[in-house]
Amino acid sequence: MLLLTFLIGFTIICNAQTTEIKIEAKGVFKEIDVTHHNEAIEILKGENQKSKKKMIDIILNNSNDYNPPVIYALSKELYNQDKKDEAMYWFYVAQLRARYDANLCMDNSAKQGVSILNNEYGSEINEYAFKDLDKLEKTVTSVTAFVRSNEENYDHRWLNLHGMWAIMAGLEEQSETKELSQPKDKWVEIKKKTIDDYYNGFIEYVKSQKKSENEAGGPPVKQQLIGFWKMIELPNKELNKVNPWPLPYQWFGFYENGKIYSIMEEKDSNYSSNDLDKIFRDLPKEKAQNFNLTDQFLTINNLENKNHQELWGVNIFAADIEGLAKKGDLIMTLDDGKGEVKYYRLLRKIN
């Protein structure tokens, strides 16, 4: 008896109590056996390093035998092992094959499963990948070539276990008999179109990102923020409607753990990054603030005053702009809570 516990969770909330219902697969859904795929994922997410290493080797040597959820989990584990280029490659293999499986799937409600997997596994890998667009472009080219030339040996219908058809079949007395996938004689055409659309869309996006970077710049990724910065005087001080931090010389440190420190002084100093790191590490812990970067918005929370939060727009200059900024400078704009900028801060990185 196969229970739909891997991809289907059914939750009933009543009077603040939560009950999980396990649904028995019926009809055609009983044919979809994801048992060994689930076991592989459990090992990859587990703590047994010996079993994990063995499973990674098995998957890499038999990658066509494992469905996309397994390959997604593989990419995450490779990333955790600091094999980030390999992780990037296999993440996009999983993404492309999941998209192909979604295009084969007849139950539209099941296709949300691909988005769920991308959200679960994609955040760190995408952030890493988009720091080097040339490498990303080569990786996607290799990924599409691999998927194009390799046949999938797993059951494409794993995705159907995400959908309402599977849930309803499990709840009803009659077994489901409808076709779950597109007719098999269309699979070659669907696969080709899926790969072509994926490649063309991806490359077009990468090219647009390169063009945008070359022309003006854009939102930073977290790794670009990490490090030490000095505030640079604005060419036009009248831009700032208010000045909450009037001292003229200011330095900031963004750390990998999501903490930001700052010092502000009346006199200028030629601090190095090592100098600032020592200064910030010697500060009391309560002087740190938490930061979170989402797209082009940076949120800063004050640990001493939990009711205080700052919302900044952030952009990195991709080229020198005469009289304003140098390539790599960071412009921060503080929102007044009504969608208007009330304060500008221009920072230059200390290398």
Whether residue 310 is contained in a domain is answered as yes
Q: Are residues 98 and 145 in the same domain?
A: yes
Q: What is the DSSP secondary structure assignment for residue 205, as one 8-state letter?
A: H
- From the number of C-beta atoms within 10 Å of its C-beta (0-12, 13-18, 19+), residue 205 rates as middle
Angstrom distance (rounded) from CA 316 to CA 124 = 20
Tokens for 195, please give them.
């790969």
Q: Are residues 209 and 227 in the same domain?
A: no
Whether residue 228 is contained in a domain is answered as yes
For the chain, give the longest Cα–Cα distance.
80
Whether residue 269 is contained in a domain is answered as yes
Whether residue 81 is contained in a domain is answered as yes
pLDDT at position 16 is 37
Query: Which residues, including other chains, have CB under 8 Å from residue 59's CB and lie 6 or more apart?
Result: 40, 66, 70, 71, 74
Instruction: Give CA separation, 187 vs 61, 103, 152, 194, 327, in Å.
Output: 25, 9, 12, 10, 48
Whether residue 306 is contained in a domain is answered as yes
Q: List per-block mean pLDDT (blocks of 10 residues) for the chain, which spans 351 residues.
A: 36 36 64 88 95 97 96 96 96 96 90 88 90 89 97 92 72 66 94 94 80 68 93 87 91 94 96 95 89 89 75 89 88 84 94 84
Q: Are residues 186 and 71 in the same domain?
A: yes
Task: Give CA angle at 167 (18, 20), nearest 5°.
Answer: 15
Q: Are residues 211 and 239 in the same domain?
A: no
pLDDT at position 261 is 95
- In CATH, what number is assigned to the domain containing residue 254? 2.40.128
Q: Are residues 226 and 327 in the same domain?
A: yes
Whether residue 1 is contained in a domain is answered as no
Query: Which of 160, 181, 215 finishes a domain?
Result: 215
Give CA 229 to chain center in angstroms. 26
Angstrom distance (rounded) from CA 155 to CA 165 = 17
Task: Give CA angle at 137 (144, 227), nearest 5°.
Answer: 135
Q: Are residues 228 and 177 in the same domain?
A: no
Q: Are residues 252 and 229 in the same domain?
A: yes
Q: Are residues 97 and 74 in the same domain?
A: yes
Query: Which of 183, 215, 247 finishes a domain?
Result: 215
The secondary structure of 280-342, three-state, reads HHHCCHHHCEEEEEECCEEEEEECCCCCCEEEEEEEEECCCECCCECCCCEEEEEECCCCCEE
Q: Are residues 160 and 253 in the same domain?
A: no
Give CA 59 to chain center in angstroms. 23
Whether residue 3 is contained in a domain is answered as no
Q: Are residues 52 and 201 in the same domain?
A: yes
Query: Which of 215, 233, 263 finishes a domain?
Result: 215
Tokens for 255, please give them.
């750390």
Whether residue 337 is contained in a domain is answered as yes
| Cut 0.85: pTM above it | no
Length of the chain counted residue by residue: 351
Q: Are residues 106 and 209 in the same domain?
A: yes
For the chain, the 3-state helix, strand and coil shares in percent, each to the nearest 5, are 50, 20, 30
| Range 37-60 burial, b when 16+ CB lie within 10 A, else e | bbebbebbeeeeeeebeebbeebe
- Which residue range forms the structural domain that includes residue 279? 222-349
pLDDT at position 30 is 76
Domain count, the chain: 2
Q: What is the DSSP secondary structure assignment for residue 130, as one 8-state letter?
A: T
pLDDT at position 77 is 97
Q: Are residues 119 and 149 in the same domain?
A: yes
